[in-house]
A and B are shown apart, each in its own frame.
Chain A
């Protein structure tokens, strides 16, 4: 097992920067998810780690070893792809054992390891089954188990649960979660699916336009995005980004969305965007101190039966996710509060500002 270190690696295809110069470390024994929309460079980074793509600049290290020039088969890695790679016509057990036999592992050790891994991933009862008889989710479990059993230094997953139906997706996600928790392997996992990333990752490396824009735990990124992109990409729907609806006067944030002015830092002068997650907007059917009146433009139901409301204060529109009872009763107007600790400010370059908001209140 080793950490994976990228030292100023980049990949250009002609003038196109698939990956801009990036330096980062995927820590030993942790699960890092490379997350981002299609074309953000996440697959290219993975391909450079694996050795399927030669970096334009920079180096890749596994632990202290520079592997940049090593061919793929000499890197001690295991890979799981979108489509399961299995040895057809043989049993699940054979599929798991083959690489271990090739590595001349003693029989007893081999049986033991295959048994352990099969148990964790939930295919113990299938060891004698011919893999041809498994569905896609079952085959993918076999492919995962085989790569894990080899105990490579680094395990890489490229959208491994994209091509299965919803029920199998959940089953696979659960198997992977159990596996990742038990193994504590160095795992790098590529996906565009935020739910997968949020559920499986120790850390998310969030990517946009060839850059890692934020590298932190899922909750940290969700609660405290470094830029507008991160706030938008995570969450369903993502953050509300509000412009032309506030001013910073001296050290006060003033807005028709706020019942009272809020103290802010010096840097807040540079704010052009104020943001809040829809589910952090507080709502009330009756007037309350600290709340402002909002018009209800539209209602919908969302996850867990909560209501997703389109609201407006003057001509500022935003979304709020509220409890079922409140959403159902809400007529043409209601009262809302944007709690200080849930407000974020961003500058003209869409970067987070240390606003000082919420420092005094919890």
Chain B
């Protein structure tokens, strides 16, 4: 697989204990994270968790109160944006209305006094990647929404550098357009062999784009790692919540004498000695519908509503007042039998992930009866 990595190059970006407060309001409480060459690194987390602030600190548009920001081995914490040489695709795209697409894209390079040949080569490359070569002589008001967005992304990417910051560039775009731009962005990163640091609070966008993720919550990166690893073994409850569509189910549980009881039933716990209240996470896709499996919890459920999302159906269920969601492939045989409004769920004990209710970090998972 093409990960575009160059084994000889060093860490692209390293943040250590970075803080940022506005007056009494602390937004970042000590963020540490590292971005490696060729990463499509997605910073995600709830809205207003400080993602944009984090990116502005990396870009040098704001200064951190404390901590260090190191780019390609150089501590740039106290340097301005110019010395950092980062390409930037901002959230809102202001194109110059009176300039052609060509001039819009090349303007920042000409400001940087790039030579003519470099400008032309860079222009050709980004235009090919974003398929906007036939728009070069048009003005923004002659473009569709999607075309404008691609031009704006092209302008951000038309820079002689190997590190780009993209601040939620697809927010508010319609579904089909986003689908296309997600492909464009991945292909572009890989073709240029560069590194992307990207922010979004959209779950599906994070999952579709990221090679690595950093989960920002309560002013901290609570977890970072390869996408599939964080998805499969989240160490923080927020990671489990932020990564996954439909969103994971969270239940209250309590551990006593090595067993955890929840509204869905009780099961053994992997960690000896854990006691008391826990937050229990359960991914929708780990809930089986219309099957019985030996050793699984068997739970009768009421079907409230099904939502057809094309290739899959999301089921919204009620278990004696506890809401639960699950997801099935659109061709799943159980869907035929749901008209009656009730069904039986089967859940493997090891699908339950147990988090400390205070620190929201993982303490154990469910296990089968010994």
Instruction: Identify the A interface with B (CB < 8 A).
Output: 37-38, 170, 173-174, 177-178, 192-195, 198-199, 218-219, 222, 232-238, 277-279, 296-306, 308, 321, 324, 328, 331-332
Contacts and interface: CB of A to CB of B under 8 A. Distances in A.
Contacts of A195: 307-310
Given A199-B308, A235-B310, A302-B207, 11 more contacts: A37-B176, A279-B330, A296-B1, A298-B2, A303-B309, A303-B312, A303-B327, A304-B312, A321-B311, A324-B285, A328-B232
Contact of B227 (A174, A233, A301): A301
A337 to B, nearest CB: 16
A324 B232 CA distance: 10
Contacts of A218: 308
B329 interface: yes
Contacts of B310: 194-195, 198, 222, 234-236
B305 interface: yes
B334 to A, nearest CB: 14
Contacts of B232: 328
Nearest to B311: A279
B275 interface: no
B317 to A, nearest CB: 12
A299 B190 CA distance: 13
B316 A193 contact: no
Contacts of A279: 311-312, 329-330
Contact of A194 (B175, B186, B245): B175
B1 A297 contact: yes
Contact of A303 (B174, B228, B245): B245
Interface string B194-209: 0000000000100111
Contacts of B300: none
A195 B179 CA distance: 15
Q: Which 9 A-B pairs have the closest CB atoms?
A: A198-B308, A304-B327, A279-B311, A301-B207, A235-B310, A304-B285, A174-B305, A305-B285, A300-B208
Contacts of A37: 174, 176
Interface string B172-196: 0011100100000010001000000
Contacts of B305: 173-174, 177-178
Given A38-B174, A237-B179, A199 B208 contact: no
A308 to B, nearest CB: 7
Contacts of A328: 228, 232
A303 B277 CA distance: 30
Given A236-B311, A331-B1, A174 B316 contact: yes
A234 B312 CA distance: 12
Contacts of A331: 1
Contact of B1 (A301, A304, A308, A332): A332
A328 to B, nearest CB: 6
A236 B179 contact: yes
B231 interface: yes
Interface in B292-309: 304-309
A236 B174 CA distance: 12
B362 interface: no
A281 to B, nearest CB: 11
Interface string B302-343: 001111111110001000000000011110000000000000
20 contacts: A37-B174, A177-B305, A194-B175, A195-B307, A218-B308, A236-B179, A236-B311, A238-B179, A278-B311, A279-B312, A296-B1, A297-B1, A298-B1, A301-B243, A302-B245, A303-B309, A303-B312, A304-B328, A306-B285, A324-B285
Most chain B CB within 10 A, of A233, A296, A302, A303, is at A303
B298 to A, nearest CB: 21
A296 B1 CA distance: 6
A302 B204 contact: yes
Contacts of A199: 306-308
A232 to B, nearest CB: 8
Contacts of B228: 299, 301, 328
B87 interface: no
B283 interface: yes
A321 B309 CA distance: 14
A75 B228 CA distance: 56
A296 to B, nearest CB: 6
B176 A198 contact: no
A198 B1 contact: no
A86 B175 CA distance: 30
Contacts of A236: 175, 179, 309-311
A304 B308 contact: no
A197 B227 CA distance: 31
A304 B312 CA distance: 8
Contacts of B156: none
A279 to B, nearest CB: 4
A277 B331 CA distance: 13
Contacts of A219: 330
B244 interface: yes
B284 interface: yes
Given A305-B283, A305-B285, A235 B311 contact: yes
A194 B210 CA distance: 25
A108 B209 CA distance: 58
A260 to B, nearest CB: 24
Nearest to A333: B1
Contacts of A303: 204, 245-246, 309, 311-312, 327
A321 B327 CA distance: 15
A297 B2 contact: yes
Contact of B176 (A174, A177, A233): A233
A10 to B, nearest CB: 24
Given A37-B176, A199-B306, A298-B1, A277 B311 contact: yes
Nearest to B179: A237
A173 B314 CA distance: 13
A198 B203 CA distance: 21
Nearest to A332: B1
B60 to A, nearest CB: 31
A228 to B, nearest CB: 13
Contacts of A301: 207-208, 227-228, 231, 243
A174 B316 CA distance: 10
A170 B305 CA distance: 10
Interface string B9-47: 000000000000000000000000000000000000000
Contacts of A198: 308-310
A277 B310 CA distance: 10
